[in-house]
Each structure stands twice: as C-alpha cells, then as structure tokens.
C-alpha cells in the first residue's frame, strides 16, 4: 500500500491515521494483509486528516499491474487487451475471495466492472476510487498509454469536489448501480506490446497450479455471472446457465456438489449489491428493487428483512447514523483486489 509515502508528501504522520486500530506503522508495508475493518478505518482516517476526498484515486494510481501478483505475468503477456481483461476476470478468484471483475458487452462497447459478491464486507466510497484508478493504471500500463477508458461509472456518492476525478481522463458518473468503465470493441482488440504466447501459456499454467482462495468453481462462476447479469434484469437460472454455456440441470447439480444452490448464491449476490447501494447511493427502495431484478418493491423488502432482520430503509438509516465506518466482523485478512 503506497499510503505511507502519500501521507509523508502531505505532511501527515502515519501514526495519526492508525487511531482506532491496533496497527503499527510497519503493518502498512506492501507485503501485509489487513483485516477489512481496520483497513477502512485507516483509509477514512487518512481522508479526514489529509482533507483529500480523492485519496483513493491517488492510492490506485500509484499501483502497477504488479499488485496482481502472479496474475500480472498472465495479463502482461496476453495477445490483446481483451484477452488480458478476460484472463484477469477468469483468475480473479486467486486474488480475492469476496470480489469479482466481469465483462459485459453493450452494443459496440464493453463494460469492465468490479463488484463484491460476498454480503459480509461493507465496501466504502474510497474503495470504489481505488479500484477505478487501479484498473485504469493496469489498462494504460499494458497498452503503454494507447488505450484509456472512455467513460466511468462509480457506486460512490457524488464527491464535494468532482473536478478531482478528472484525473481519470474521462467522464465519471457517480451514484450508479455498479463500478467500472467502458471500452470499445476496437480497444479490446488492441495488441499488447509485451504479448508472448509461450510466456503467457507458462504463466497460465502457473496460475492453474495454485489453489483458488475459494475451492468452489461453479459457485464462483455463478457469482461472477450474476454480478454481470443482475443489473441487466437477468437473474433467473436459465439465463445464468446460458451465460455459462451449460444446461440448467448441469448447473444445479454442480452447485449442489459444492454444497449450495442457485437460490442461495443469488441471494448472497443480491444482498451484497443491496448493502453497497443502500450505503453509498440515494436510489429509492423501488429503484433498488428494479436494479436487483425483484418483481416488486415489496418482494425486495421481504427478502432483505429475511436476510438481515431489517427493512432496507431501516438498515440504510442505521448505517447513516453510524457513519458507515466499515465494521464488518470479518477477522481474517481480506483483499478488495
């Protein structure tokens, strides 16, 4: 994490952003994994102390593809930008157990998105900024600046100084239902200068030899598909199975072998998206129900109460009063990327 360097440049002692945690400055070194609640506390403290609401952009922009670990070699040696992003999506489960990247074609454009499918962590506005800046940095790095995103969407609320987000190089639409950016089909076909088929195949073999963080292939694939399809109004098992290239019965059996069901996976993804949008957006309950592909607002309210014990409105109000500090109860190390 490049946070210590940025704090030094801005004249803020690192120890000041560690208040409210049990961390020491050495814990912010790049090779350390932090519990999510502590990480978000540090980031929010840093925003407050520096007065830089765009701190997430600064953090993301100072990363490189190396942050992907072994997956960086796969991405850098892919033949095209499209193959690189497809590889990143396919092997994201090697880097994060709670988040996915996904690709969705829309006419002559492609949307490359990032989202959380695990309903436990609360993702804050600053994490949305880190992700957008980091993904942009990866795209510009592997294309050597030849390709840049054409438009951005972000779930984060409208910042007090939106002009600072111009550093991304394209229009940013805030308060959206998903976070990511648009590329053209031509962008996706861009040949990477560092393409090397032999090295790429070796890198893929290396990735495949490593265990995924989640040992449930079809559960993970279904989560990724739902994260992309839900916001298009497709949440049924037939649509997801078609997207995955298998039959409904095959998918049902595959999920059962992994100890889950399609309905359980869909509920978890819906809850994760709902929590993020209730925390960060001003969408009405009716609009949220439509976004999550519920038949009616009442159906969404009943489901959300069943999942959390609260109505969506009550849950949102509790988060607002608590300041949404990102306390998640997840004690294990967790990576937003």
> Is residue 337 a part of any domain in this protein?
no
Based on the fold, state whether residues 123 and 223 are members of the same structural domain. Answer: no
Place of tokens 């560092």: 194
Residue 328: pLDDT above 80?
no
Cα–Cα distance for residue pair 156/277, rounded to 1 Å: 9
The total of structural domains in the chain comes to 3
Point out the domain boundary residue: 162, 178, 208. 208
Asked if 32 contacts 109 with a C-beta cutoff of 8 angstroms, the reply is no
Based on the fold, state whether residues 35 and 96 are members of the same structural domain. Answer: no
Place of tokens 């978890």: 268
Cα–Cα distance for residue pair 322/316, rounded to 1 Å: 10
Asked if 175 contacts 155 with a C-beta cutoff of 8 angstroms, the reply is yes
Q: Render pLDDT for 30-75 as a digit per residue (tens, 0 to 9).
A: 777 777 678 888 999 999 999 999 999 999 999 999 989 899 999 9
3-state helix, strand, coil in the chain (%, to 5): 55, 10, 35
Based on the fold, state whether residues 1 and 113 are members of the same structural domain. Answer: no
Based on the fold, state whether residues 185 and 294 are members of the same structural domain. Answer: no
Based on the fold, state whether residues 252 and 190 are members of the same structural domain. Answer: no
- Helices 248-257 and 262-280: crossing angle, nearest 10°? 80
| Angle at 194 (CA atoms; ends 188, 197), nearest 5 degrees | 85
Based on the fold, state whether residues 31 and 69 are members of the same structural domain. Answer: no
Say whether pTM exceeds 0.85: no
Q: Say which CATH number the domain at 318 has.
A: 1.10.10.60
Based on the fold, state whether residues 142 and 13 are members of the same structural domain. Answer: no
User: Where residue 332 falls among pLDDT bands split at 50, 70, 90?
Assistant: very low
Based on the fold, state whether residues 162 and 288 are members of the same structural domain. Answer: no
| Residues in Cβ contact with 288 at an 8 Å cutoff, skipping those fewer than 6 apart | 274, 277, 278, 300, 312
The predicted structure's pLDDT at residue 326: 41
Based on the fold, state whether residues 170 and 64 are members of the same structural domain. Answer: yes
**Average of per-residue pLDDT values in the chain:** 89
Sheet holding 109-116, edge to edge: 99-106, 109-116, 179-184, 151-153, 171-173
> Is residue 335 a part of any domain in this protein?
no
Asked if 117 contacts 100 with a C-beta cutoff of 8 angstroms, the reply is yes
Point out the domain boundary residue: 24, 40, 55. 55
Cα–Cα distance for residue pair 313/298, rounded to 1 Å: 12
> Is residue 328 a part of any domain in this protein?
no
Based on the fold, state whether residues 184 and 314 are members of the same structural domain. Answer: no
> Is residue 329 a part of any domain in this protein?
no
Residue 168: pLDDT above 90?
yes
Cα–Cα distance for residue pair 276/155, rounded to 1 Å: 8
Based on the fold, state whether residues 179 and 103 are members of the same structural domain. Answer: yes
Point out the domain boundary residue: 24, 55, 86. 55
| Residue 40 burial class via C-beta count within 10 angstroms: exposed 0-12, middle 13-18, buried 19 and up | buried
Based on the fold, state whether residues 47 and 60 are members of the same structural domain. Answer: no
Which structural domain, as residue segments, surrounds residue 100?
A: 56-208
């Amino acid at each position: 994490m490049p946070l210590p360097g940025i704090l030094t440049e801005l004249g803020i002692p690192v120890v000041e952003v560690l208040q409210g945690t049990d961390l020491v400055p050495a814990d912010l070194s790049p090779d350390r994994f932090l519990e999510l609640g502590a990480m978000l506390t540090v980031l929010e403290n840093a925003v407050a102390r520096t007065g830089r609401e765009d701190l997430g952009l600064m953090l993301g922009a100072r990363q490189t593809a190396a942050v992907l670990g072994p997956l960086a070699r796969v991405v850098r040696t892919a033949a095209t930008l499209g193959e690189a992003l497809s590889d990143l999506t396919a092997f994201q489960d090697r880097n994060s157990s709670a988040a996915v990247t996904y690709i969705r074609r829309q006419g002559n454009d492609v949307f490359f998105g990032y989202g959380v499918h695990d309903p436990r962590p609360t993702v804050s506005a600053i994490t949305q900024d880190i992700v957008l800046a980091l993904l942009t940095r990866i795209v510009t790095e592997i294309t050597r600046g030849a390709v840049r995103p054409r438009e951005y969407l972000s779930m984060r609320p409208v910042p007090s100084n939106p002009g600072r987000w111009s550093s991304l190089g394209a229009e940013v639409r805030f308060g959206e239902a998903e976070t990511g950016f648009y590329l053209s089909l031509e962008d996706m076909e861009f040949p990477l200068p560092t393409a090397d088929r032999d090295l790429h195949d070796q890198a893929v073999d290396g990735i495949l030899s490593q265990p995924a963080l989640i040992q449930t292939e079809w559960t993970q694939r279904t989560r990724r598909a739902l994260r992309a399809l839900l916001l298009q109004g497709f949440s049924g098992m037939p649509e997801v199975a078609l997207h995955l290239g298998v039959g409904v019965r095959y998918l049902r059996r595959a999920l059962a072998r992994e100890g889950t069901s399609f309905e359980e996976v869909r509920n978890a993804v819906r809850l994760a998206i709902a929590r993020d949008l209730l925390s960060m957006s001003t969408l009405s309950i009716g609009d949220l129900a439509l976004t999550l592909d519920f038949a009616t607002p009442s159906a969404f309210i009943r489901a959300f109460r069943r999942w959390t014990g609260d109505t969506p409105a009550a849950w949102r109000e509790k988060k607002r009063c608590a300041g949404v500090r990102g306390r998640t109860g997840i004690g294990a190390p967790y990576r937003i990327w």
